[in-house]
Amino acid sequence: MRLASRPAPPCCAPAPVLPSCIAIAMRSMQPLPLTLVAYRHGLRASEVCDLQWQQIELSEGRLHVHRVKNGIPSVHPIRGDEMRALRKLRRDYPREAYVFVSERGGPISPIGFHRLIQRLGEAAKMPFPIHPHMLRHACGARK
């Protein structure tokens, strides 16, 4: 007996998530680097929140990714628009050890990242609530 095919739940249908969220992020420019890095490198919320400047080689265009949950550490290339956004972020916050900081100066928390992505989804008028893990699922699904 064959199971009837069902549409994928919203959490597994990431295709519309990125373009709308990135467009909203670009208008405000604040969450753009955070959203780009999480999406392009398929980072979990905890991985992007724990990202430190010592893991980024801006001169070489490389990002050293430290994975959680027994993932394999790797080195990823950084593309042009992402590089420009990270350089601007570095100029704006030269003394911070963490790449993405909260308004209080500490690293952004995974909950804070989750709320930010939720707000981007609402601003993009997504038909369903979105969360950071959708960016991870959308990684590599570019057209």
CATH code where residue 99 lies: 1.10.443.10
Task: Give the contacts of 60 (CB within 8 A, at least 6 positions apart).
Answer: none
Residue 76: beta bridge partners? 63
Higher pLDDT: 99 or 138? It is 99
Q: Is the pLDDT of residue 25 over 60?
A: no
Q: Does 111 map to a domain?
A: yes
pLDDT at 103: 80
pLDDT at 1: 46
Q: Does 44 map to a domain?
A: yes
pTM: 0.74
Cα torsion angle, 121, 122, 126, 131, sign: positive
SS (H, E, C) 2-26: CCCCCCCCHHHCCCCHHHHHHHHHH
pLDDT band at 24 (very low <50, low <70, confident <90, very high): low
**SS3 of 98, please?**
strand
Q: Is the pLDDT of residue 31 over 90?
A: no
Q: Is the pLDDT of residue 39 over 80?
A: yes
Q: What is the mean pLDDT of residues 1-21?
A: 50
Q: Does 91 map to a domain?
A: yes
* Listed range (13-17, 46-50, 53-57, 136-140) with the worst mean pLDDT: 13-17
Q: Does 133 map to a domain?
A: yes
Per-residue pLDDT of 41-92, as tens digits, reads 989 999 999 999 999 999 999 999 999 988 899 999 999 989 999 999 999 8
**Containing domain of residue 107, as a range?**
15-138
Q: Does 73 map to a domain?
A: yes
Find, among 43, 66, 42, 62, the residue nearest to 141 by Cα.
42
pLDDT at 110: 93
Mean residue pLDDT of the chain comes to 80
Specify the number of domains making up the chain.
Answer: 1
Q: Does 10 map to a domain?
A: no
pLDDT at 12: 46
